[in-house]
Chains A and B, each alone.
Chain A
């Protein structure tokens, strides 16, 4: 394997279409959720440990900063889930054309914004 083959896919010079943006955001949200899972499992642990710790966690989650962190995690779950559903739909053969892909990517972005906004309303 030589290192000096030409590389044609220089991401820095390519204008990203909406499908590529949705795709990379799926990866980014997935990597983020992998890390955030530590926080989620820790909260689950605390919430189930004892009534005192449950109350303590509830109290902690009223702080503005905690709410922002919680909302970012929930928004990432929403986005990643919708992008995953798009993948499943594509696996069944729908939206595999160029137009279908663009439409699917737009739907994922729009629905994510709507649901993340609703989650924000619920959290605050």
Chain B
């Protein structure tokens, strides 16, 4: 049986929705950043830093980094539960999958703290 304990929302439908919403946030963030970078030739430090000193941009950045963490967790969960299985890895697969999930989770948590520290810290 499938035990829904490591997926983000304990429900496929919830994960499906979070994956879409976070994906749209990330898409908007990267499109905005790309538009700014491409439309600012020979960008200097002041312009770049000025962008990230707007409160709106800081909020947008935090939304993006939180979206990234949720989006990546759901995506990586799909990947590890599909490929790190007893059929492919043998009887210790659950241990390996747990370890892989832990590495993903710690990494994503680090990204969130690091990202927030960058945009709000200075």
Contacts and interface: CB of A to CB of B under 8 A. Distances in A.
- B contact patch SS: helix
Contact of A51 (B27, B45, B122): B45
- A contact patch SS: helix
Contact of A27 (B26, B79, B107, B111): B79
Given A31-B76, A51-B45, A91-B20, A3 B27 contact: no
B79 A38 contact: no
Contacts of B30: 77, 81
B36 to A, nearest CB: 13
Interface string A1-26: 10100010000000000000000000
B45 to A, nearest CB: 4
Interface residues of B, number: 31
A16 B103 CA distance: 31
A49 B68 CA distance: 22
Contacts of B59: none
Given A48-B118, A85-B27, A88-B23, A37 B68 contact: yes
Interface in B35-88: 38, 44-46, 48-49, 52, 68, 72, 75-76, 78-79, 86-87
Given A30-B75, A81-B27, A88-B24, A48 B52 contact: yes
Nearest to A122: B38
B118 A45 contact: yes
B13 to A, nearest CB: 12
Interface residues of A, number: 27
Contacts of A84: 23, 27
Contacts of B118: 41, 44-45, 48
Contacts of B75: 27, 30-31, 34
Nearest to B27: A81
Contacts of A50: 45
Interface string A55-93: 100000000000000000000010001001101100100
Given A7-B87, A48-B118, A91-B20, A34 B72 contact: yes
